[in-house]
Structure 1
Amino acid sequence: MQLGIGTYTYGWAFSINGQTTTRLFTENHLLEKAKSFGLNLVQIGDNLPLHEFTADQLKDFADSAKKNDIQIEVGARGLTAEHLDRYIGIALKLNARLIRLVIDQKDYEPGLPVIINIIQNALRDLEKHHITLGIENHDRLKTSEFVQIVESVSSPNVGICLDSVNSMGAGEGLEQVVKALAPYTVNLHIKDFGIQRLPHSMGFQIDGRPAGKGMLNVPWLLENVSQYGRCQTAILEQWVVPESDPEATIEKEDWWAQESVEYLKNYF
């Protein structure tokens, strides 16, 4: 399994939610970070929408990645037939072998029959171009529904992008999620987390931690996923608790990334 970083390793640096900062990242910053960490893989998520790039921008990105011997994976949000077809084309331009896709987007939450039909109709192109589609477990659907999707499609080119935290939003714990989805996992999002009781004791807060500093048992996760032989890549993602100043938040995010990659390299 190959370790990489993505745009959600630097979620604040790629989209600071309207706050003023001079340090917003670009795709080239991500390539530079990967190279500085000694990694050869980057994943572009929907927080850097590649379908908004011009043809020249995509070519420049592909050329820069090739020059630095870095593999690209692409990501998108919103499973429609048109959007999936668009990202298959983008993957081809970037020599990407994986498309990570979040099904839902704002005001769009398709049912399982629609999801399955869209993916089945794209199978010919996915298989022809040797591209794998990884459906990310996001927080609307249950793990049993994700299993139903991949089993209904029944193709080696379609699997799960397993995020270690997302399904908590659907009321499901990590052990339950990994047990159900590990056999279908083609891409892994390693995202460490902490859970703490709020000061008033009325509820809990879940937020991010640097890899190895939270509650995520990374060796256990990797062992359970790797035993099935389908997952080829793992991407560090982060939920960095922000500071009051956006510049300080981005500095903290970079420090977490350095610490996390150093820890994760012990297992890759």
Structure 2
Amino acid sequence: MIGFGTYTFFWEGSELAPERLSVIGMLERTADAGVELFQICDDARIESMSDDELRRIAEVARERGVTLELGTKGIAVAHLERFLHIATVLGAKLLRSMATSGDDRPSHADAVDRLRAVLPAFEAAGVTIALETYEQLSSQELVDLVTTVDHPNLGICLDPANTVARLEHPADVIERTAPYVRNIHVKDFAFTRRGGWVGFTLEGAPLGTGLLDYPALTAVVRPDERGVNQIIEHWLPLGDSITETIELERTWTAHNLQYLREGRS
């Protein structure tokens, strides 16, 4: 299934936006686009909501025919337990997270212990944790973590753009993580020369125009066959104005949705 997420609306949902989108606003825009999946990922507002507010989001999602997923950072036990509660209230069956968060960088052994401590509760609730590929851990280290824990409710959220910062080739990351992928963040990216040709900038691009070999990704991971959802994201830098940036963000979203839909037809 193709989905939108809070990173699809990164600038329109930011505090810089003249009319900042609420979580429900993002959810409604998702439904208006004919998209049936929305991932609430790394939006701090969700953590301060009451259960009644969370139930309202879940109610709107049901009314609009949208499935919810959830996302956070870190694997501290208390934090994961809190987000399991949020996921349960929302009716979300997948929680994307990261093995590290800020200064909390657990060792492999500590990460294994933390995940094993919480996964029975996640299994009982029918919620899967998908740890995202990031430069903080190599893709091999992430695979080692997932295979050591060896639990059906633990997998990987694949985003091959992130690990470029660790000098990992996206094709290698895709191949290595494919058996364990439970969620995909889809965004294209490209290098451009900085001013004066001193170094490079790695930033987003509309799907099909950058370095992501999306056909190869789907051929290896087989998301449709395996029921792996794909969430549209952007790495869109702030332009000359927030208004222009939001308009471009909307254009990229429409383009990327069409690109994915045509690739699945």
The C-alpha deviation readout for 1:28-85, integer Å capped at 9, x for no partner, is 2212221122110000111344221111210110000000010000001121000101
Q: Which amino acid aligns with 1:111?
A: S
Q: Determine the structure 2 residue equivalent to 1:204.
A: 200
For 2:28, the equivalent position in structure 1 comes to 32
Matches within 5 A, 1:241-260: 241-260=237-256
Please list every run of 5 or more consecutive structure 1 residues that lacks an aligned counterpart in the other structure: none
Say yes or no: does 1:118 pair with 2:94.
no
Please give the secondary structure, in 1, of the residue aligned with 2:196.
coil
Structure 1 match to 2:10:
11
Matched, 1:77 2:73: yes
Deviation at 1:180, TM superposition (A): 0.8
TM-score, normalised via structure 1 length = 0.93
Q: Unmatched 5+ residue regions in structure 2? A: none
- 115 and 217 in structure 1: CA distance in 2 versus 1, 3 angstrom threshold: same
Work out which of the residue numbers 141, 146, 151 in structure 1 matches 2:142: 146
In structure 2, C-alpha distance between the alignment counterparts of 1:111 and 1:139, rounded to whole Å: 15
Aligned with residue 183 of structure 1, among 179, 186, 191: 179
Match of 1:127 in 2: 123
Asked if the contact 1:99–1:132 (Cα under 8 Å) also holds between the matched residues in 2, the reply is yes
Q: How many residues align?
A: 264
Q: 1:81 to 1:196 in 2, by over 3 A?
A: same
SS of match in other structure, 1:44: strand
Q: Measure the CA separation in 1 of the matches of 2:65 and 2:225.
A: 24
Are 2:36 and 2:65, in contact at CA under 8 Å, matched by a contact in 1? yes
The one of 223, 236, 240 aligned to 1:240: 236
Structure 1 residue 229: deviation in Å?
5.4
Q: Deviations over 1:106-133 (max 9, x none)?
A: 2222221111111111121111111111
Deviation digits for residues 124-182 of structure 1 (CA, Å, limit 9, x no counterpart): 11111111110011111101110111001101210000012111122211011111111
Runs of 4+ in 1 over 6 A off after TM superposition: none
Q: Specify which structure has the bigger relative contact order, considering alpha-carbon pairs within 8 angstroms and separated by 6 or more residues.
A: 1
The letter of the residue matching 1:98 is: L
Instruction: Give a deviation string over 1:188-226, Cα, whole Å, max 9, x none.
Output: 000101112334333222110112222212111111111
CA shift in 2, pair 1:114/1:15, >3 Å: farther
**SS of corresponding position for 1:14:** coil
Please tell me the residue identity of whatever aligns with 2:163.
S
Give 2:72's aligned amino acid.
A
Q: Does 1:218 align with 2:188?
A: no
The secondary structure found in structure 2 opposite 1:205 is strand
The whole-number CA distance in structure 2 between the counterparts of 1:263 and 1:122 is: 38
- 1:267 paired with 2:258, answer no
User: Is 1:185–1:231's contact at 8 Å kept on the other side of the alignment?
Assistant: no
CA contact (8 A) 2:133 2:160 kept: no
TM-score by length of 2: 0.94
